[in-house]
Structure 1
Amino acid sequence: MKILLVDDESDKLKKLMQVLTSIEGIDKANIIHKLELNAAKRELINTAFDFMILDLNIPEVLGEDPKNTAGIDFIDEIIGVDQYIKPKQIIVLTAFDDLQVTFKELQNKLAFQVLKFDETSTKWSDIIRAKVEYALLCEKSKGYPLLENKCDVAIITAVKIETDAVKNLKDSWEREKIDGDPTYYYSSMFSSGLKQLRVVTAQQSEMGMSAAAALTMKIIYNFKPKYIIMAGIAAGIDTKNNFGDIIIPTEVWNYSNGKYVHDSEKDSIISFSPDPKSIPLNPDIRELVGQDFSDVLFKIRRECEGAPQHDLEVICDPMACGSAVVANRDIIENLVKSHSRKTVGLDMESYGVFYASNNINNQTTIPIVIKSICDFADAGKGDNFQKYAANTSAKFAKYLIENELKF
């Protein structure tokens, strides 16, 4: 894979190189960087690039003052001049707010992504990493044919206790391995009326949104499921809910998105300025999970070892997703409830699953998160109800697959 960087800012170039060279499968020798537009144009005449990452504020010739429209003019020239070998993807990365706004006006027409470079945030680098990793997957797949509809449902988990609960749903699972992919996948057949459904499951290599997004993209690309379900455990926020209650979020939002800033009123104190992003649940699924499941939940509770003395409930409200475990009520009040008062749960993966499902090429896979409450995100966090919560989540996921989801 060949990548062209067109940027004359040394700090930005250094960080870009760190991001790109940390991706498995990227050879540093195939990353070309140019400090001026004229040099970049010469490269495009002779070389086919998979990615071009372009700074808008770039001079025509090194040493000259750049024009504000130079980067946009360059993109127009690439599109209009037959002599250039067009890069497969162009990403605009700029540190200037005014240039970002200017380019966004043309973004819908040109279909190029514009990212704001910010040293205090990883949002730009996470997006670039995800795009390059997906392109590598596409490149790797050229050697063998793709099979359509290789499974009906995928269930993904983040930790072993969740994986064990999913594996316990069936007596047998067949292990599958994909060349070049370190993840182990397991498949089994579920029954939906007279129809047999192929279900694939896999566990993330580590906890967190990035790992969730990466696994989601791999599963969608390799298995093309109609639904991808994240099952497992989460923290509850509202103490009127109980251990084992099943959260099916109507939307997931990323409360850890934002940047760290210096607090001018408190010298040397760094504060967090949030910029939360949310993704809604598919409206058909939202209607489906809003039913009364009392009889089903009574049966699930009876089947699960270690059930506490209360009825099991399904909760359909927003879930917050962040990059770290939360065990402090002040964080919940200041960072979560203040931005979405209806939020009922916290986890570290759900936003990654929704984001990847909604941004993969030609996506048709519907993401669903089914996570049960195992603690209440405070200093009293423990693992007393983790197994019970993992089991209520997995069993309810199985019920939906076999009785409610449409195939």
Structure 2
Amino acid sequence: MKILLVDDDNDKARDVSRVLLEAGVHDQRDIEHVTNAYDAAQALRRSKFDLLILDLVIPNTKTDDPKADGGKLLLRDINGRPGFIHPTYIIGLTSFDDARENSTIDFNRGLWTIIKFDRSSSDWIDMIRSRIRYIQSSEAATTAGANYGVDLAVVCALREPELRAVLGHDYDWQKTEKPLDPTIYWKGTWQDRKGNLRTIVAASAGNMGLVAASSLTAKMAMHFRPRVIGMCGICAGREGDTELGDVIVANPSWDYGSGKFSNGDGGSDFAPHPTQIPLSPTLRRVAEMVADDGSFLDSLRRSYSGSPPKTALKLRIGPMASGAAVRADDSFFEELAKANRKVLAVEMEAYGVFATANEMPSPRADVLVVKGVSDFANSNKEDSFQDYAAYVSSACLLEMIERHFSE
């Protein structure tokens, strides 16, 4: 594996190199470090790199001062000018929030990721390690000739209402079983918009929660080797930022119970320290397409046979927290916001699906979790919109998958 690290901060570059070596890069000589855009361009014209880690605030040459848009301009040169040997993967890395915001569009255009570098947090370390594992597993799968099985595996928390909503879509479902496995699986097919025959499998866990969802995800990944693992169902939304019936696409997902308890003046205090797993850029793009398709969402709302919420159906992409239990507590979301201030939803399974899929052997699946808001996790919690939330979340998940495989 060959990596180009572009960063004018030598201390930061040493920290990143150490993480790369700990993550499985075999030799320091596999990491080429340059400090400016000119030297990076020369390297990218000379060699093929598996991964480019690009600081966003870099100088043009060794003698220049760093520029706030130096990394962004280099990325535009790589994409727009001839003579560059494109790296397989690109990661942006910055300590500066304004540089990140100014470069987001350019990185999204190439489906690349920007990571916040923060020595007080391990999130950037976890994300780099995850990318290195992904590259290594992709290389191993290519070498070994590993193949995917089905196109989509749908993990449902329960048979009612989640799995019932999925099986309500016409995929010519057939019941199937695996030896020594108590789970009942449903396999189906559909023809995508290009005329290709696609395959789907769906199942429900025996119980709600992270452990049950994780176990089912692992079994489906091993049995069926899906390209995408999807999950639909119900969640609690953040009142004021969501409406009942809204569909939430998890990005990122984390376990809100991950952290540390310590003794404080008024008793024990909890300091959250979660690993947040993002949605893949490719699936985020199709989620954004569906979110912008008002006619599809309006038609979906009107197609529900029961009584939908009074508000228009909206699809929102945002942070979703998972935990062992969901509380009916008016202050719950204020606590969750300590880990991610933009949190939109909370439920009991998504992180288990993301985390398990990330650790499975190759060929590894992407993950897409889509859930409908059935309550606000407050003292007025009630269940009247669960069927609607399951209905619209399953339809949105399948619409995203259809568009994903038809591009």
TM-score (norm 1): 0.61
Partner of 2:287: 289
Amino acid at match of 1:276: P
| Identity %, equivalent residues | 31
Partner Cα distance (1:282, 1:105) in 2: 21
Question: Which one-letter code corresponds to 2:188 in the other structure?
Answer: S
Displacement after TM superposition at 1:170 (Å): 2.1
2:374 alignment counterpart: 374
Who is 2:38 aligned against? none
User: Alpha-carbon deviation of 1:158?
Assistant: 0.3
- Residue 56 of structure 1: aligned partner: none
Does the CA-based 8 Å contact 1:253-1:351 persist in structure 2?
Answer: yes
What is residue 387 of structure 1 aligned with on the other side? 387
Aligned to 1:311: 312
Residue identity opposite 1:327 in structure 2: A
SS, match of residue 186 in structure 1: strand
1:280 match: 278
Give the AA of the match of 2:324.
S
Q: State the AA in 2 paired with 1:158.
A: A
- Following superposition, the deviation at residue 376 of structure 1 comes to 0.4
Distance 1:106 1:148 in 2: 28
Taking the aligned partners of 1:299 and 1:264, their CA distance within structure 2 comes to 52
Q: Counterpart amino acid of 1:313?
A: K
Cα deviation, residue 405, structure 1: 3.4
Q: Secondary structure at the match of 2:217?
A: helix
What is the alpha-carbon root mean square deviation over aligned residues? 2.4
Query: Are 1:177 and 2:177 counterparts?
Result: yes
- Measured after TM superposition, the shift of residue 406 of structure 1 is 5.0
Q: Partners in 1 of 2:363 and 2:199 — Cα distance?
A: 19
Q: CA deviation at 1:265?
A: 2.9
User: Retained in 1: the 8 A contact 2:171–2:189?
Assistant: no
2:157 alignment partner AA: A
Q: 1:177 to 1:328 in 2, by over 3 A?
A: same
AA of the residue aligned to 1:181: D
- Partner in structure 1 of residue 242 of structure 2: 241
Does 2:325 align with 1:327? no
Separation in 2, partners of 1:402, 1:108: 35
Give the whole-Å Cα distance in 2 for the aligned partners of 1:203 and 1:212. 9
Kindly provide the amino acid, as one letter, of the partner of residue 279 in structure 1. I
Partner of 1:78: none
One-letter amino acid of the counterpart of residue 166, structure 1: V
Check 1:235–1:290 CA distance in 2 against 1; reply closer, same or farther (3 A cut): same
Q: What is the correspondence of 1:6-405 to structure 2 with a 5 Å cutoff? A: 107-108=22-23, 148-159=147-158, 160-170=160-170, 172-193=172-193, 194-261=195-262, 263=263, 265-266=265-266, 269-291=267-289, 292-304=292-304, 305-334=306-335, 336-405=336-405
Residues 172 and 189 of structure 2 are in contact (CA less than 8 Å); yes or no, is this contact kept in structure 1? no
Mapped contact 2:298–2:313 kept (Cα < 8 A): yes
Q: How many residues align?
A: 267
Q: What is the Cα deviation at residue 181 of structure 1? A: 1.4
Distance 1:171 1:252 in 2: 29
Structure 1: gaps of 5 or more residues: 1-103, 112-145
Secondary structure at 1:161 match in 2: helix
Query: What per-residue deviation string (whole Å, max 9, x for no partner) do you get for residues 272-292 of structure 1?
Result: 332222001101111221121
Is the Cα–Cα contact under 8 Å of residues 191 and 402 in structure 1 kept in the other structure?
no
- The aligned amino acid for 1:259 is K
CA change 1:110–1:316 in 2 (3 A) is closer
Q: Give the structure 2 partner of residue 31 of structure 1.
A: none
1:332-373, Cα deviation, whole Å (9 max, x unpaired): 212x11221111011111111111111112243110001010
The 8 Å contact of residues 272 and 339 in structure 2, kept in 1 or not, is answered as no
Paired residue secondary structure (2:342): coil
- Separation of aligned partners in 1, 2:199 and 2:405: 13
The structural deviation recorded for 1:186 is 0.6
Q: What amino acid does structure 2 have at the position aligned with 1:169? A: H
SS for the counterpart of 2:354 is helix
Q: CA deviation at 1:380?
A: 0.8
C-alpha distance in 2 between matches for 1:210 and 1:300: 32
Q: 2:152 is aligned with what amino acid?
A: V
Counterparts in 2 of 1:406 and 1:279: CA distance versus 1, 3 Å: farther
Query: How many angstroms apart in 2 are the aligned matches of 1:105 and 1:358?
Result: 18
Quote the Cα distance in structure 2 between the aligned partners of 1:164 and 1:208.
18
Following TM superposition, by how much is the alpha carbon of 1:239 offset from its aligned partner in structure 2, in angstroms? Answer: 2.2
Q: Supply the distance in 2 between the matched residues of 1:251 and 1:166 (Cα, whole angstroms).
A: 24
Give SS of 2:250's match. Answer: coil
Conservation of the 8 A alpha-carbon contact between 2:227 and 2:366? yes
Contact 1:251–1:318 (CA under 8 A) maintained in structure 2? yes
Structure 1, residues 312-344: CA drift from partner, whole Å, max 9, x if none?
A: 11101111111111211223212x112211110
